């Protein structure tokens, strides 16, 4: 009974609380992430999920089709930055200050981008941290 109560308590904790705890869980996962690595992974998940992939949350994710399969213009990059900014905050719990999207060169000829996110770690207002998440079209 004690094990069942501990299991239910662990399962009802939010993922953010588990990630900030950074301790061993009941299941003894081989690796627990926290801090900057946790934030990087959350941004990676949001930016690499297409809208409609999550059945219960069809609005979750970012649609890269316009940038991957059409001409890349400054207006499209700005619109994509706004989309990524709007998706990261409410879906990850990260307090985002700014998002910068830039195109990078690749050997494959397919478009590739770097998403630079400046954020306030753990609800602080100063200083800010920065992370860079790659996105490669066609992967």
Task: Give residue 107's Cα distance to chain centre.
Answer: 26
Kindly report, residue by residue over 13-64, the tens digit of the pLDDT.
Answer: 444 344 444 544 444 455 667 778 888 999 999 999 999 999 999 999 999 9
Distance CA 85, CA 127 (A): 19
pLDDT grade for 100, boundaries at 50, 70 and 90? very high
Instruction: Determine the pLDDT at residue 134.
Output: 93
Q: Domain residues for 127?
A: 33-136
Q: Is residue 11 part of a domain?
A: no
The stretch 85-100 carries a mean pLDDT of: 88
pTM above 0.85, yes or no: no
2 in a domain, yes or no?
Answer: no
pLDDT given for residue 135 in this prediction:
92
Is 85 a member of any domain?
yes
Asked if the structure places residue 10 within a domain, the reply is no
pLDDT at 56: 92
Which of 20, 7, 47, 75 minimizes the C-alpha distance to 131? 47
Asked if residue 109 belongs to a domain, the reply is yes
Q: Is residue 3 part of a domain?
A: no
Q: What total of structural domains would you count in the chain? A: 1
Residue 9, in any domain of the structure: no
Q: Facing residues of 102 across strands?
A: 114
109/139: higher pLDDT = 109
In-domain check, residue 73: yes
**CATH number of the domain encompassing residue 83:** 3.10.450.40
> Is the pLDDT assigned to residue 84 strictly greater than 50?
yes
- Name every residue whose Cβ is closer than 8 Å to that of residue 30 and which is 6 or more positions away in sequence: none
Q: How many residues are recorded in the chain?
A: 139
């Amino acid at each position: 009974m004690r094990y069942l109560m501990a299991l239910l308590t662990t399962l009802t904790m939010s993922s953010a609380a588990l990630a900030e705890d950074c301790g061993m869980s009941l299941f003894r996962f081989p690796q627990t992430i926290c801090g900057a690595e946790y934030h990087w992974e959350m941004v990676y998940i949001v930016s690499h999920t297409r809208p409609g992939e999550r059945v219960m949350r069809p609005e979750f994710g970012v649609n890269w089709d316009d940038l991957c399969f059409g001409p890349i213009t400054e207006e499209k990059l700005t619109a994509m930055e706004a989309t990524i900014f709007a998706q990261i905050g409410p879906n990850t719990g990260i307090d985002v200050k700014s998002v910068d999207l830039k195109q990078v060169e690749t050997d494959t000829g397919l478009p590739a981008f770097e998403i630079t996110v400046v954020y306030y770690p753990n609800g602080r207002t100063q200083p800010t941290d920065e992370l860079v998440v790659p996105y490669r079209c066609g992967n």
